[in-house]
Amino acid sequence: MTHYILIHGSWHGAWCWHKVADRLKANGHTVDVPDLPCHGKNWGNHKDVTTEDYVGTVTDLIDAADGPVTLVAHSRGGLVGSSVAEARPEKVERTIYVAAFLVPNGKSVVDYGLQDEQSLILPNLDQNPDEGWDMLQSHIFREALYADCDDDDVALCHLLLTPEPVAPTFTPLELSEERYGRVPRSYIMLTEDRAVSPKLQRMMLDETQCEVLELEASHSAYFSKPGALTRLIEQAGEQQASA
pLDDT value for 242:
53
Domains for the chain: give ranges and CATH numbers. 3-242 (3.40.50.1820)
pLDDT value for 23:
98
pLDDT digits (tens, 9 = 90+) for 144-164: 999 999 999 999 999 999 999
pTM of the complete model: 0.97
pLDDT value for 9:
98
pLDDT digits (tens, 9 = 90+) for 77-91: 999 999 999 999 999
Asked if pLDDT for residue 58 goes beyond 80, the answer is yes
Contacts 24+ apart (CB under 8 A), 179-183: 179/85, 179/86, 179/87, 179/89, 180/82, 180/85, 180/86, 180/89, 180/105, 182/89, 183/85, 183/89, 183/92, 183/93, 183/94, 183/95
Query: Considering only CA atoms, which of 91, 29, 27, 26 is closest in space to residue 58?
Result: 91
pLDDT digits (tens, 9 = 90+) for 127-147: 999 999 999 999 999 999 999
Report the C-alpha gap between 204 and 82 in whole angstroms. Answer: 13
Q: How far is CA 23 from the centre of its chain?
A: 18
211 or 240, higher pLDDT: 211
pLDDT value for 78:
98
Asked if pLDDT for residue 243 goes beyond 70, the answer is no
Asked if pLDDT for residue 221 goes beyond 80, the answer is yes
pLDDT value for 240:
61
* Mean pLDDT of the region 197-201: 98
pLDDT value for 173:
98
pLDDT value for 237:
81
